[in-house]
């Protein structure tokens, strides 16, 4: 090969690749509204994104798989945790993660900021990204079924979909607030108390670190039956 041939390879290769890339970029923007629901980016979503940047969340958490690997991915966190839990975690991480082997810093997030952040994460969770991350698809499925076709839900799906962000069962879910097997053995609550506890923990036990859960009374009853059934 001569130097001249090599030079042509350089220019042809570079320009061709750049051409393809620019064309794909134009098409990306054309199709972005359908994949990322850009029409749903409200001012509150933007405010939430600014909160996300302000506290540098992305250097511990990944989102869309990018960022720090020190803490769980936040792409589908809205479905994994639900609004109340997200707010409780970002506002009082030292309580939620008291017993955890890994801590989250107290960032001084205000209530307003936490609510904005939830809106942002809600918008992110609906980005059509081919079901990534794989481990969170069960939460997305459960959350969507809960809204539309609750009769199709498996019991375990409901329980883990609602509680798996903090509780575990047979190694599934995230064990920071105890395993359901242990909770079932230890709890002295009856069914009614447990249902009340799920809906508003502080009304039963003022010292509880668990936030009120965003579930309907029926779902709470179902969860209570599940837990008590493990005894």
How many chain residues are in contact with another protein, going by CB under 8 A? 78
In the list 2, 148, 149, 207, the residue contacting another protein (rule: CB under 8 A) is 2
Q: Which of 72, 42, 230 is nearest to 166 (CA)?
A: 72
Distance, CA of 132 to CA of 9 (rounded, Å) = 38
Distance, CA of 85 to CA of 41 (rounded, Å) = 22
Contact region for another protein (CB under 8 A) — 27-35, 83-91, 145-153, 218-226?
Answer: 27-35
Task: List binders of another protein among 183-212 (CB under 8 A).
Answer: none
Judged by beta carbon, residue 102 or residue 148, the one nearer another protein is 102
Please report whether residue 47 would count as binding another protein according to CB under 8 A. Answer: no
Please report whether residue 135 would count as binding another protein according to CB under 8 A. Answer: yes
Task: List binders of another protein among 65-124 (CB under 8 A).
Answer: 65-73, 94, 100-106, 120, 124
Distance, CA of 57 to CA of 39 (rounded, Å) = 25
Q: Are 227 and 178 in contact (CB under 8 A)?
A: no
Q: Which residue, chain included where needed, has tokens 């459960």?
A: 142
Please report whether residue 182 would count as binding another protein according to CB under 8 A. Answer: no
Measured from the Cβ of residue 183, the count of other Cβ atoms closer than 10 Å reads: 19
Judged by beta carbon, residue 15 or residue 202, the one nearer another protein is 15
């Amino acid at each position: 090969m001569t130097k001249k041939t090599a030079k042509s390879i350089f220019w042809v290769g570079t320009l061709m690749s750049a051409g393809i890339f620019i064309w794909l970029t134009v098409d990306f923007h054309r199709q972005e509204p359908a994949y990322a629901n850009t029409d749903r980016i409200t001012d509150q979503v933007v405010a939430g994104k600014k909160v996300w940047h302000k506290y540098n969340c992305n250097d511990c958490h990944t989102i869309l798989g990018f960022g720090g690997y020190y803490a769980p991915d936040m792409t589908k966190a809205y479905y994994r945790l639900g609004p109340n839990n997200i707010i409780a975690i970002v506002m009082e991480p030292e309580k939620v993660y008291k017993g955890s082997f890994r801590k989250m810093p107290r960032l001084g997030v205000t209530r307003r900021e936490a609510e904005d952040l939830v809106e942002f994460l809600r918008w992110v969770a609906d980005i059509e990204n081919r079901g990534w991350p794989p481990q969170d698809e069960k939460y997305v499925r459960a959350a969507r079924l809960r809204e539309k076709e609750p009769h199709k839900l498996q019991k375990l799906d409901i329980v883990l979909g609602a509680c798996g962000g903090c509780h575990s069962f047979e190694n599934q879910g995230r064990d920071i607030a105890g395993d359901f097997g242990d909770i079932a053995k230890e709890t002295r609550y009856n069914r009614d108390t447990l249902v009340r506890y799920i809906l508003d923990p502080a009304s039963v036990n003022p010292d509880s670190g668990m936030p009120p859960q965003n579930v309907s009374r029926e779902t709470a009853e179902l969860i209570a039956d599940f837990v008590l059934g493990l005894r």
